[in-house]
A and B are shown apart, each in its own frame.
Chain A
Amino acid sequence: MNELLPAALIDEGIITRVTLLMIIMLPIVGTVIGFTKHVIGLKSLGLYAPIVMTYAYFQIGLSSGHSSWIDQVFYSFKVGIALTIVVFLTTLLAHKVTKLMRLHYSPKIALVISTVAISMYLVIIVARYLDLETFLESSFIPIILLSTVSEQFVVTMAQKNIKTAFSLTLTTTIISFCTFALIIYGPFQNLMIDYPYLLILTFPLNIMIGKFTGLRLLEYFRFQNVIPQNE
């Protein structure tokens, strides 16, 4: 049986450690996002955006060349957040412009994504002058990943307003960043590779979260004035 365990697959070179981690961490990322939404009460831009952003930060962290957790997290914070801001601002700008043009939805999104792509290219040029070589080497995955999130941004901007879109993006970024910090932590990675059946725990956990009807943590603050206190 042991040869079927992840550790053995990596040793035999059947799969890379990174690919395997990305598979193994998927249920964990999903569970964390469910938990933050239903137990903590932080709203994010759906499930897709935080997963993609988590993996984008993960890739950036791995590409940093650092081996210590703190350094990886710090690097990812610097680069990842900067990229996110660029994507968000570019999307905002493109959204504002395309809004005036009264276009159909898909071409509009295509235009937004094109603008984001151009801005990413500019980022790469800037990186070259800043001598961020490690970033350039393996940066195509996080760039693609982050670019696709721009659709989510546009939808939120169109439906709600810029303010809501911004605050949702902010919380999504925070959630993704925390999740990333968890899955890039070496001892945690080893634990999951050595004991992959721990993943089974995410099933009952998600069912529990899925059936949770208590107040969310943030609701304790939101509703603090509902019942007058002097009673």
Chain B
Amino acid sequence: MSFLNTFKNREKILGRNERNLKYIRPYNLTRAKKIADNKLLTKEILEKNGIPTPKLIGKVESIQDLKNFDWESLPNSFVIKPVQGLEGAGIEIFYNRDKQGRWIMGDGRKVSVGDLKAMAIDIMDGKYSLHNQKDSVFFEERVKMHKVFKYYAYKGAPDIRILVFNNIPIMSYLRLPTKESKGKGNLALGAVGAAIDLASGITTTAVLGKDTIVEKIPGTNLNVGGLKIPYWDEILKIAIKAHQVTGLGFAAIDFLIDRDLGPQIIELNARPGLSIQIANRDGLRWRLRKAAGLKVTSPLKGIRIAKDLFGGQLEEQIEKISGKSIISHIMPVEIIDPNQKKIPALALIDTSRRTTTINYKLAQKAGIPISEESFKETSMSDISFSLAGKIINADCRVVKDKIRGYNMLIGRRDLGDFLIDIRRVATGKEDLQKEELVSVQGLQKPENIDNALAEIAEQIYIVRNIRPTNASSEKKEFNKKKTYSPQLEYEPVNIDTDNLIYKLSNLNPDRNTQIGKLLSEKIDSLRKAIYLIEAIGEDDKFPQRAENLYGVPDVKIFTKAVELIRETDAIKPDVRKEKVLDKSEVEKRIADHIKKIGIEAKIEYIRNGAGKASIGKKQGIIYLNPDYKFTETKLLGTLAHEIDIHLARSFYGRQRPYKIYSYGTAGYLEVEEGLAVRNKAEVLKSQQPIRNAAIMYVAAYLNHKNSFRETYNYLLKLGISKTNAYNFTMRTKKGMIDTSKPGAFLKDMLYFSGYLKVKDLSKEEIGKLIKSGKTSTVI
């Protein structure tokens, strides 16, 4: 029997008792209820906060007002409303005026000024108010129905209700007036309530009256489902805002959509009805419970949560029709081991690969007998796992490393039963909620944001991602053919950029504090950096994204750089013939130098780092390339550049309370590289580092707007050797595939532009700067 069905699902459905006790009483305080119950007050507060609502034309609050009011001044079209009316009672709409000056109503009735006054008296007498309390009357502009509803609604305009709780839209529906309801949007009178999928703003299921499920608009052949509500995201945003400014914790916000003005709030309701559940064919209880635990700081976040947690009914319909499940590109899976035990994991969905691949450690956990010793580079194994409720038996490739940051990758051979929607959030609904709980709730303190940023910043190494894999073969081609432009290739990006962007978007520092501002700038610059990494090898996107991150090349600086190159000499040949220093000596010299300048750091060797040496800013490590052959000059250069400046700055930064001073405030790089260039020039007593910085600027500047060959030729004209010209051009052309196209890795501008910023600073100023740990805002 069907009421047993309700009993089975009682955990999901909200009844009146629970609504009243758990939601209306605690969350809608008397003050807030007063606002919702008084439409004039509502209007006033909404208007004050810039929330769209139909314009007030006039009001009548006493018999005196009634006499003094200029009735003839009312426009041809307007609405009369009781200030405290219940359930839409007493509201009348006037569409036009006839020749005798009478206003015409929706049903063709015509009213004179005298009739209007009588209507006003009725309202003021409390005919429509609770317990017949005295009431007032107001007039507002009529909302002109949006054209998408033209064939859907009978006479009256349909209204959209958004139920909002804890800054999250919970459920919504569209109320369509019908012939039966006489053009009124009241379900009890026979209007149609059509559920709206929160994620897409498209109508799905519907109910006629209070409990008859319908698919078509009565009397028409029109499907109720599939109607896209215009301004959907805007509506959700406004609803949350209204809920915030009125203090109604649990509110139904009713909208009309004006043809010209867009969504308008017409009413707030502090005691939302429960029939919305029938229209939606889903319960409110579980949704409210889920929403209750979340801390939502901005409307946009509220909308995202709503769409992720409560949206997707449209997808379910698609799933039903196609028989396929819709999944995201990152999905939680459960691997089933031989004992039927389930091991949870997060998998990357990748249709560009054929075979499902799994990390051997995860495979071990799933009961595949692989030991670390016996494990070779790759092997194949049968593994069962469940994805979106379906069990898949896959012939898996087992590999040693993580696959693009994941322990598992699902290839297209196992994806036949799924549709992939990349707009969906990176995880399943349940996981998402957990993640939201952690991130939305916890990370809002500066320390937490700072920690999260440190973790993200550590994963972003543009320089490591932007190395072409075919540089040497392309160089040969370039030298062979006079017109050849190198075609560069890159390794696929090995970090999960979506996930990082997602994490960044969850961070919300208080921009009114100094640290909050720093963090916020850093979030922005990290986001730009991730976008740049994503654009590596995408020739149409890369130049713009490089500009976004590093700034627009400056012709004035370019001119200065060219002058400087012309005025200084190239490097003296004898320096190159210096003898190579012993590895242990290099290590000792570096250790001594670190001690000498009074900082602490470890030395480690790493092969895939950049160039000769780099700095691990978070832990205070100097990474040396074990293959690099240091000479005296090179070592001095490294000491001056990497240790005196980068390592020292991050060392002092680590002494500060926030990690951002060690991983670097936004825009820190320019000044820091400038300092490094200047210091190196001073230590080596040579103009060479400055000259090199200038060449890099020129190369980057030219490459940004020209082809590889053009830049190369220009550098040759400046008197730069062929090898150097090639190297500098190549270095600044990285990130592009087809180097005949304009585009440059603009990071290399920073050395010279940074140098110009710091070249006139005194030694004390530089020392201070390094010791402050923050080099971003220097001049």
Contacts and interface: CB of A to CB of B under 8 A. Distances in A.
Interface stretch (A24-32, A115-123, A220-228): A220-228
B61 interface: no
Contact of B15 (A155, A159, A211, A214): A214
Contacts of B122: 102
Interface string A192-231: 0000000000000000000111111001111111111100
Choose among B13, B121, B131, B281 the residue with the greatest number of A CB atoms under 10 Å from its CB: B13
Interface string B428-457: 000000000000000000000000000000
B126 interface: yes
A105 interface: yes
Interface centre among B2, B16, B130 (most CB of A within 10 A): B16
A225 B214 CA distance: 12
B724 to A, nearest CB: 70
Interface stretch (B17-25, B677-685, B745-753): B17-25
A64 to B, nearest CB: 37
Nearest to A212: B17
B18 A226 contact: no
A104 B277 CA distance: 40
User: Top 3 nearest A-B pairs by Cβ distance?
Assistant: A224-B2, A213-B18, A215-B15
28 contacts: A38-B17, A102-B118, A155-B131, A159-B89, A159-B132, A211-B21, A213-B15, A214-B15, A214-B17, A214-B18, A215-B15, A215-B17, A219-B13, A220-B6, A222-B278, A223-B13, A224-B6, A225-B2, A225-B211, A225-B278, A226-B6, A226-B281, A227-B8, A227-B9, A227-B13, A227-B283, A228-B281, A229-B5
B13 A105 contact: no
Interface string A70-106: 0000000000000000000000000000000010110
Interface in A48-63: none
A227 to B, nearest CB: 4
A48 B283 CA distance: 34
Given A102-B122, A227-B8, 11 more contacts: A105-B126, A155-B131, A159-B128, A213-B21, A213-B22, A214-B10, A216-B17, A220-B10, A222-B211, A228-B281, A229-B5
Residue from A104, A221, A226 with most neighbouring chain B CB atoms (10 Å)? A226
A226 B15 contact: no
Interface string B254-280: 000000000000000000001001101
Contact of A226 (B9, B16, B118): B9
A102 to B, nearest CB: 7
Contacts of A216: 15-17
Contacts of A220: 3, 6-7, 10
Contacts of A155: 131-132
A192 B207 CA distance: 49
B125 interface: yes
Interface string B6-50: 111110110111100110000000000000000000000000000
With a 10 A CB-CB cut-off, give which of B125, B126, B132 has the most chain A CB atoms.
Answer: B132
Interface in B695-716: none
Contacts of A228: 281
Nearest to A103: B125
Interface of A: 38, 41, 102, 104-105, 155, 158-159, 211-216, 219-229
Given A155-B131, A214-B10, A219 B16 contact: yes
Contact of B6 (A159, A211, A219): A219
B580 interface: no
B180 to A, nearest CB: 14
Contact of B10 (A215, A221, A222): A215
Q: Looking at A105, A212, A214, A224, which has the most chain B CB atoms within 10 Å of its CB? A: A224
Nearest to B22: A213
Interface band, chain B: 35 or more
A226 B2 CA distance: 10
B414 interface: no
A218 to B, nearest CB: 9
A155 B15 CA distance: 26
Interface in B98-126: 118, 121-122, 125-126
B233 interface: no
B2 A215 contact: no
Nearest to A221: B3
A38 B18 CA distance: 10
A220 B10 CA distance: 8
B278 A226 contact: yes
Nearest to B20: A213
A221 B6 contact: yes
A223 B278 contact: yes
Nearest to B87: A160
A155 B7 CA distance: 36
Contacts of B8: 227
A38 B21 CA distance: 11
B86 interface: yes
A220 B125 CA distance: 39
Nearest to A217: B3
A103 to B, nearest CB: 9
Contacts of A105: 125-126, 132
Contact of B3 (A102, A159, A214, A224): A224
Given A213-B22, A219-B6, A226 B125 contact: no
A138 to B, nearest CB: 34
B282 interface: yes
A229 B2 contact: yes
Contact of A227 (B5, B21, B127, B128): B5
B213 interface: yes
Contacts of B12: 226-227
A224 B4 CA distance: 8
Nearest to A99: B127
A185 to B, nearest CB: 29
A226 B283 CA distance: 7
Contacts of A221: 2-3, 6
A212 B21 CA distance: 9
Contacts of B86: 159
A159 B377 CA distance: 79
Contacts of B15: 213-216, 219, 223
Interface in B712-758: none
B163 to A, nearest CB: 15
Contacts of B282: 226-227
Contact of B213 (A213, A214, A215, A225): A225
A145 B65 CA distance: 41
Nearest to A224: B2
A158 B128 CA distance: 8
Nearest to B205: A228
A104 B125 contact: yes
A211 B130 CA distance: 25
A220 B16 CA distance: 12
A158 B210 CA distance: 22
A41 B125 CA distance: 32
B117 to A, nearest CB: 11
Contacts of A226: 6, 9, 12-13, 277-278, 280-283
Interface string B638-662: 0000000000000000000000000
Interface string B346-390: 000000000000000000000000000000000000000000000
A214 B18 CA distance: 7
B683 to A, nearest CB: 74
Contacts of A38: 17
